[in-house]
Structure 1
Amino acid sequence: MGTYESFIQNKRAVMPPSGFHVDRDKLHSSLFDFQRDLVRWALLRGRAAIFAGTGLGKTRMQIEWAMNVHRITGGDVLLLAPLAVASQTIREGAELGYEIHMCRSQDDVKPGLNITNYEMLHHFEPVLFEGVVLDESSILKSFTGKIRTELIESFAFTPYRLACTATPAPNDFMEIGNHAEFLGVMSRTEMLSMFFVHDGGETQKWRLKGHAEDAFWRWVASWGVVLEKPSDLGYPDDGYILPPLNIYDHVIEVEGEPAKTLSQRQRARKETVAERVAACAEIVNATDKPFLVWCDLNVESEMLAAAIPDAVEVKGSDKPSHKEKAMLDFAAGKIRVLVTKPSIAGFGMNWQHCADMAFVGLSDSFEQVFQAIRRCYRFGQRQPVNVHMITSSREGVVAENIKRKEDDFRKMVSEMIKYTKDITSESIRSTEREVAEYVPKQPIIIPSWLRSERFAS
């Protein structure tokens, strides 16, 4: 064990701080204690990740972080966000008294804080920014490898970097590796070779080396913090207790045997669209409350919009301006029913005004379903949230699988927090200034023309 720990130390597995110290009392007074301490910690790290549960105020924390980077350096900061989330961030910045400029290209950049959508990155010159923030950074997994690589390479020399996203699945080591690589801590390849062994023939199957588990999470805690609620780091949970989440499983009986394979399930979805849409429309049309309807297929989206009189449809082929307006209008209460896909609107939006949603066809991605539910079921929600999962008898127990994966996710997150909370709690609550340790390894040879005559001999 000692030898392995020595190996880890030699590899500099714990990232030293590279940022600056800010008194917590000088951070915005509207931030809760745990938020101020997290911002202060992230500024001290210089390059950090905040993995925090939905509704914990990641937007406010990243805005305050960015503003302090601007104040200290005098340089510009770029925030990257999903579509429609950028406008939401600008409004939240205004509540803090900060101006954030919406930009479509480098020509639009003004001194201070600037924000754009991920899709617009190629219109910017990343080297001109002192700081960068990735909002909803886990959506990098949804992008192509090309964009992920572009982000990592574009900001490789940016002094201050912050990535904010919801708590990752603890066994999604590639997501953790993506963040480490973006922050310049370590490449994914290095991370895998140092802490993991390849598990079988599948390229995605990696498991932690038995003796490396503590070292791995200690390494993660040196640049990232994980929390689902404030008490995970020793703060009170006042105002952060969520109301009940009610999941209703509607299984429509249709002819045919239950699907056993993925292709059979996809065929069953296509062949039972009419029945599922009718069941959803009946539920949504029976109320005048705000309603969010998630679908998986284009034909579902079209039929739902036709069957629900006051529904507005947002689909992938729509212009970005329409998508953004519809999502913001739904948030403002101007639209009662929004019909869309988790892949389009499942990240970043705050829709606590809505407490009712339906899934008409479930994605096979647990993360997409989980994130979609969290648009409404997040801290700040005052009402019990009702989720209607509408499937056909041919699709099998899809909703049950989602619930099982949710339970597994919760157990794994608890394990992840258990490993990191003591380390991160101590680091975040500490009031001492940390300084990056410098360990000289090579003597300096001073050229003769720099030596004074007194030392020349």
Structure 2
Amino acid sequence: MATRGRRQSGSTGAGSRNQRRGRAAGNEGIIPVLARAVREVEAGVQRGRATQSNRTKFQTVALLAREERTRIKTDASMSEPQRAEQLKRLDGIGTILAKTAALDTSLLSLLAEDAAVSDAAKDLKRDMLAAAGMEAPEEPEEPVEEDPTPAPVSRQVVPQSVISRRLADPFLAPQFETVERRTPPPRRLAGWELIGPLLSSFERAASGAPACMDLPEPIDVPVPEGMELMRHQAELVAAAADGHRTFLLADEPGLGKTAQSLLAAQAANAYPLLVVVPNVVKANWAREANIWTPRHAATVIHGDGDTIDGFADIVIVNYEVLDRHVGWLGDLGFRGMVLDEAHFIKNKSSQRSQHVLQLSERIRARTPRPLLMALTGTPLINDIEDFRAIWQYLGWIDEKKPRPELMHALEETGLTPLDPGFFPAARSRVIDMGIVRRRKVDVAADIPARRIADLRVELDDEAGRSIRAAEAELVRRLVSRYERAIEARDERTDGIDHDLVRRIAASEREDSSKSEENVFTMMRRIGQAKASLAADYTAQLAHSVGKVVFFAKHVDVMDVAEQTFEQRGLRYSSIRGNQTPSARQKSIDAFVNDPDVSVVVCSLSAAGVGVNLQVASDMVLAELSWTDAEQTQAIDRVHRIGQDEPVTAWRIVASRTIDTKIVELIDSKAGLAARALDGSDEEIADSADLQLETLVALLTDALTPA
């Protein structure tokens, strides 16, 4: 009995020690550190929008929680009860993250697998690991994201004509002077994180004021015979003539940004001039340069550049081949650089963005006050963060802070981000750096109005039934995941848990590659099913109103349309991504100049920019875009200077499918540029990924009682 008693007593003591060790272990490691941090973020967001420091902390917690989850699942030394307990604690942190993101949906972008991790987040990650008594692993070298363009060529080339130019003019050697004007060191704002507040100022401080710097009165710009500048174009050229050297020229598409930039370069004598453009508009830029500045020879780089004129004043290169020419381009001695469709560089981790930023940095380092211009009618595609790479290209900011000129302007306000008046003052100072934004309604009132008309079609054939069945299966899958999550809870939830809905949608999107039916595949199938209906309607329009532009995303939809036009006896031309520049221009000329060519069939990616098709006033959007910006770019091929009739874009929408949801979401996101650049009071729509929002809408509708 005594022995048994001692054993029982020993067992009780061991249990107490185990409990104490369990409590101690619960306060060790990374999880308690994450729990404290996520509560701090939640409290901060509940008091208002997330500050930059809270955004950094939010992303760092998410990264470390993800890594800790992976470690726990693969730790063979842990028992199943221990593993379950740790995962449950991580789930609690994940729930707080989701609730916090629901309060400020701009945080959702930080949860994406491909979200850029800032230096501040990396530093905080190391600090948190140190606080947890863990050693931070060495950071792997970040992979360079490939562009969705033809595979880049890594080899560098130097065309022979460029070598000849260097030999002919030895004075092209670098001049390594300090070219940024001296400004007093920062005082009041030293130590402040300012990039976040500057970006935020374009969301929070519009107040009805347009985002356009003060421009001087137009000057008498010499233009070739038969050409004429509009007042708004001459104003920008006057600013360049007055000495302004950086411009974010964000005029609405169709207001002649190409002519403005070419004449601004002439006014600033910014030769040689480098022009970086999408491949599809290289030939158009050469043509425009020959029209507007015929005394300055332009050359276009194709492939390895064997055919270029090394002595030309204007060198035009496309993003896709920039990698093989970035070396000699940086050494040539350019005094100006124009970036067309500048939103192409919004992803700073992409190769194209890195090359562009490298070139602009080298030009600024070699040339006193070069002319730098960023041209885009849609500078904001999804998020206010899209500004960041463009501002860096222009030399307004670097990776972490404003450059001296902008910093000095901010210091002159006498304000810090804690002061109520900082945001409107900061927005004004950034605009003064060179943002120029004019709307058609303000400067080209003679351009007729445009409208988007939705044409609903029924998919009653076998393809339509199959699409609706696939959509129903997707909804069932989403509802099933939601219900299982609800059942796993200890407490009942009244109504719809919208935080959980978003988490389920995000998980579905992440798993979409494993599923035969997802949002992407269904949208493509819907496009295919609509193809013949859209082509039929286009043929009817052509017979009644004349020339019509047909836009589609996928080649097979374009193929169906062209077959339909052939059957209807309609002549058409085609603009596709695999055309040579000469074939592309031939197709454009045929549609514009030949009265018998009734329709031009266009790829959204190949003809969405740099094409003037205002000979038509009706267009058909056979497939939906994933962004309002892409849709707008397509419409503005027709709705631009030179158009003298009202423009109608007929958007083909498949009834009783997710097409209808996506239309609503696209339209809801259209206010982004309006608020940030045009001073509109319209709320900026959620910048989260449109595919995610589509899944959220599907699941929410399914859970809503009829």
Contact 2:286 2:300 in 1 (8 A): no
2:298 equivalent to 1:101: yes
Task: Sort the Cα spacing of 1:230 and 1:326 in 2 relative to 1 into closer, same or farther, 3 A.
Answer: closer
Task: Sort the Cα spacing of 1:179 and 1:322 in 2 relative to 1 into closer, same or farther, 3 A.
Answer: same
Contact 1:86 1:102 in 2 (8 A): no
2:611 equivalent to 1:343: no
Amino acid across the alignment from 1:267 = T
* Higher normalized strand content (fraction of residues): 1
Cα distance in 1 for partners of 2:425, 2:382 equals 16
Counterpart selection for 1:28 from 222, 233, 236: 222
Task: Sort the Cα spacing of 1:54 and 1:271 in 2 relative to 1 into closer, same or farther, 3 A.
Answer: closer
Task: Sort the Cα spacing of 1:35 and 1:154 in 2 relative to 1 into closer, same or farther, 3 A.
Answer: same
Q: Offset of 1:276 from its aligned partner?
A: 0.8
Structure 1 runs not aligned, ≥5 long: 15-20, 196-207, 419-457
2:355 equivalent to 1:150: yes
Contact 1:363 1:369 in 2 (8 A): yes
Contact 1:103 1:109 in 2 (8 A): no
**Identity of paired residues, percent?**
20
Task: Sort the Cα spacing of 1:178 and 1:332 in 2 relative to 1 into closer, same or farther, 3 A.
Answer: farther
Cα distance in 1 for partners of 2:458, 2:338 equals 45
Task: Sort the Cα spacing of 1:180 and 1:416 in 2 relative to 1 into closer, same or farther, 3 A.
Answer: farther
Q: Offset of 1:166 from its aligned partner?
A: 0.9
Contact 2:528 2:556 in 1 (8 A): no
Task: Sort the Cα spacing of 1:9 and 1:41 in 2 relative to 1 into closer, same or farther, 3 A.
Answer: farther
Q: What does residue 364 of structure 1 align with?
A: 626
Q: Offset of 1:227 from its aligned partner?
A: 2.1
Q: Offset of 1:182 from its aligned partner?
A: 0.8
Q: What does residue 498 of structure 2 align with?
A: none
Cα distance in 2 for partners of 1:25, 1:327 equals 34
Cα distance in 2 for partners of 1:6, 1:51 equals 32
- List per-residue Cα deviations over 1:62-99 (Å, max 9, x = no partner): 010122233xx6x4112222334333334334443524
Contact 1:265 1:394 in 2 (8 A): no
Q: Show the 5 A alignment for 1:298-317.
A: 298-309=555-566, 310-317=571-578
Q: Which moved more, 1:249-258 or 1:216-225?
A: 249-258
Root-mean-square deviation over aligned CA pairs: 3.9
Q: What does residue 552 of structure 2 align with?
A: 295
Counterpart selection for 1:394 from 651, 657, 681: 657
Counterpart selection for 2:615 from 353, 357, 360: 353
Q: What does residue 6 of structure 1 align with?
A: 188
Q: Give runs of ≥4 in structure 1 deviating > 6 Å.
A: 8-14
Cα distance in 1 for partners of 2:588, 2:344 equals 18
Q: What does residue 245 of structure 1 align with?
A: 451
TM-score, normalised with respect to structure 2: 0.49
Cα distance in 1 for partners of 2:352, 2:534 equals 36
Q: What does residue 432 of structure 1 align with?
A: none
2:392 equivalent to 1:181: yes
Task: Sort the Cα spacing of 1:272 and 1:12 in 2 relative to 1 into closer, same or farther, 3 A.
Answer: closer
Amino acid across the alignment from 1:380 = G
Task: Sort the Cα spacing of 1:209 and 1:180 in 2 relative to 1 into closer, same or farther, 3 A.
Answer: farther
Cα distance in 2 for partners of 1:370, 1:383 equals 18
Cα distance in 1 for partners of 2:419, 2:255 equals 33
Counterpart selection for 1:282 from 536, 548, 557: 536
1:55 aligned counterpart, secondary structure: coil
Task: Sort the Cα spacing of 1:394 and 1:22 in 2 relative to 1 into closer, same or farther, 3 A.
Answer: closer
Task: Sort the Cα spacing of 1:381 and 1:11 in 2 relative to 1 into closer, same or farther, 3 A.
Answer: same
1:35 aligned counterpart, secondary structure: helix
Cα distance in 2 for partners of 1:251, 1:409 equals 30
2:534 aligned counterpart, secondary structure: helix
Q: What does residue 443 of structure 1 align with?
A: none
Q: Which moved more, 1:237-246 or 1:342-351?
A: 237-246
Task: Sort the Cα spacing of 1:280 and 1:238 in 2 relative to 1 into closer, same or farther, 3 A.
Answer: closer
Q: What does residue 315 of structure 2 align with?
A: 114
Amino acid across the alignment from 1:269 = M
2:643 aligned counterpart, secondary structure: coil
Amino acid across the alignment from 2:222 = H
Higher relative contact order (CA 8 A, sep 6+): 1
Task: Sort the Cα spacing of 1:34 and 1:409 in 2 relative to 1 into closer, same or farther, 3 A.
Answer: closer
Contact 1:248 1:386 in 2 (8 A): no
* Higher normalized helix content (fraction of residues): 2
Amino acid across the alignment from 2:437 = L
Q: What does residue 217 of structure 1 align with?
A: 427
Counterpart selection for 1:88 from 284, 289, 292: 284
Q: What does residue 401 of structure 2 align with?
A: 190
Amino acid across the alignment from 1:68 = A
Cα distance in 2 for partners of 1:238, 1:87 equals 26
- List per-residue Cα deviations over 1:263-320 (Å, max 9, x = no partner): 6443333444554112112112222422222222232122222222233444434445
Cα distance in 1 for partners of 2:238, 2:386 equals 24
